[in-house]
Amino acid sequence: MSDLGHVLVLAGGLSYEREVSLRSGRRVSEVLRGAGISVETRDTDASLVPSVLADPPDAVFVTLHGGAGEDGAIRTVLELLSVPYVGAGPDACRVAYDKPTAKTVVRSFGLRTPESVTLPKETFHDLGASAVLARIVERLGLPLFVKPSRGGSALGASMVRSAEELPAAMVGCFAYGDTALIERCIDGVEVAVSVVDLGNGPVALPPVEIVPDEGMYDYAARYTAGHTEFFAPARLSPEVSAACTEMAVTAHTALGLRDISRTDLIVDADGLPHFLEVNVAPGMTETSSLPMAVEAAGDDLGTLCRILLEQAAARGA
């Protein structure tokens, strides 16, 4: 039996990923109730702080995606309220949530990551878009992958196969953020590796291979059933699989993460994994890779979430 008396699951928020967050929150709440835990699911609105002060939960499970859920803001508020929660602290979240910064950190730990350019919208406009974009193509080559420096679910992200496509890709990216990350596109196998720490150090779950029907793992491919084929565990050799899991654990450690994370990788034709980004609040929907990895490991998602909450409660605020 669990000693947890009152657990709060935070879901929703005001980011572009609100609907996905609500689905993740429902899934976590369902599996926790199945594990015998009393769960309250709440959105992040003006009633949250008074509610938590009036009836403090034993621990909080954050399933907010994008914005305040992953940039450390909500976790800062939880710490101000002296409420323990599952996941990384605010400082680590701020570093991990900013993709260019995260790439710099993991590169300093020896991880391979695609060469890239980070370009704020102001610079893009002030210095002349066409001249700047021409230099980017000259430096990085083609194809390229353009995405907002912050955010997730592939919103504002696009593949660029010709120089003519780059301006439109930048405009689409800036619709979701003020800074663009333009990466050299690595052709290969997309892999997601979840990492959990149940008290004995971070351990990687089996890698999940992602094969979208339309070639790009965009928002629709991520959250529409049948648009993507998943293989859990991934169809990789034992050596390549081990390299992927080692990279995910190193990223988790290098970025100072805690409890749970998911690292997205691309494995090239030579079997070498490349770090793309890390997520401090992995999706928990029916089409999310973390629950698939838990099942592939022979574990139970409800039990995992319960242990993480118990660990957070024991750790304290």
CA distances to 123, 137, 170, 249 from 217, rounded to whole Å, are: 29, 23, 18, 23
Assign 189 to helix, strand or coil: strand
CA angle (17, 116, 128) in 5-degree steps: 90
Contacts of 238 (CB under 8 A, 6+ apart): none
55 in Cβ contact with 6 (< 8 Å): yes
DSSP string spanning 214-280? TSS--HHHHHSTTSEEEESS-S--HHHHHHHHHHHHHHHHHTT--SEEEEEEEE-TTS-EEEEEEES
Q: Are 256 and 95 in contact (CB under 8 A)?
A: yes
CA dist 146 and 158 (Å) reads 5
DSSP state of 43: -
Q: Do 149 and 180 contact (CB within 8 A), yes or no?
A: yes
Catalytically active residues are 17, 153, 223, 262, 264, 277, 279, 283
Handedness of CA 149, 153, 155, 161 (dihedral sign): positive
Find all residues with CB under 8 Å of 58, minimum gap 6, and list them: 3, 4, 5, 6, 7, 84, 309, 313
Q: Could you count the other beta carbons within 10 Å of the beta carbon of residue 115?
A: 12
